[in-house]
């Protein structure tokens, strides 16, 4: 079955428009993991592949205080994050394999400033800005949860 060229062109245009629109949509359906730090519970979406990590929390207009996003990398390395297309002010915890927070940074929305780990890490947890500070969580604090159990 052959489709006329103009129908193929229209289909290609529709697919391209859909892809462009989808690129501006927040990721809301990633798998989730339950993390804790002391008495505080975190419901974190998990970004575990390149595409998921590249979008991260971009385009999201709100996020409940107990929610965040855990970025999981294949191996520990220096990680740097920026906030292009990210509308929410966020704090990022750069986290070692065993759940220990290496360093924390506050990040300003819609900027391309680079915020980096102080040493190689496998995980980065983004929360609403100020969440860690309000809970008294600092570098050296340990997160608990399934991703960190293998390293303990």
Closest CA to 36 of 146, 116, 123: 146
Q: What is the pLDDT of residue 13?
A: 40
Are residues 141 and 100 in contact, defined by beta-carbon separation less than 8 angstroms?
Answer: yes
And the tokens for 133?
């500070």
Are residues 28 and 59 in contact, defined by beta-carbon separation less than 8 angstroms?
Answer: no
Q: What percent of the chain has pLDDT over 70?
A: 84
Whole-prediction pTM value? 0.84
Report d(CA 90, CA 76) in Å as an integer.
22
Per-residue pLDDT tens for 111-140?
999 999 999 999 999 999 999 999 999 999
Residue 15 has pLDDT above 90, yes or no: no
Report d(CA 86, CA 26) in Å as an integer.
10
Sign of CA dihedral 125, 127, 130, 136: negative
Per-residue pLDDT tens for 31-72?
999 999 999 999 999 999 999 999 999 999 999 999 999 999
Report d(CA 118, CA 77) in Å as an integer.
10
Q: 28-149 has which CATH code?
A: 2.60.120.1140
Per-residue pLDDT tens for 95-114?
999 999 999 999 999 999 99
């Amino acid at each position: 079955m052959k489709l006329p060229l103009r129908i193929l062109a229209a289909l290609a245009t529709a697919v391209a428009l859909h892809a462009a629109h989808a690129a501006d949509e927040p990721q809301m359906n990633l798998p989730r993991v339950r993390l804790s730090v002391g008495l505080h519970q975190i419901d974190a979406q998990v970004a575990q592949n390149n595409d998921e990590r590249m979008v991260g929390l971009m385009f999201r207009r709100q996020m409940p205080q107990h929610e965040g996003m855990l970025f999981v990398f294949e191996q520990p390395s220096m990680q740097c994050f920026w906030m292009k297309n990210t509308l929410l002010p966020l704090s990022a915890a750069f986290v070692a394999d065993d759940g220990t927070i290496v360093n924390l940074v506050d990040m300003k929305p819609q900027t391309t400033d680079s915020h980096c780990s102080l040493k190689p890490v496998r995980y980065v947890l983004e929360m609403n800005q100020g969440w860690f500070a309000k809970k008294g969580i600092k570098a050296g604090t340990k997160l608990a949860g399934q991703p960190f159990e293998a390293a303990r």
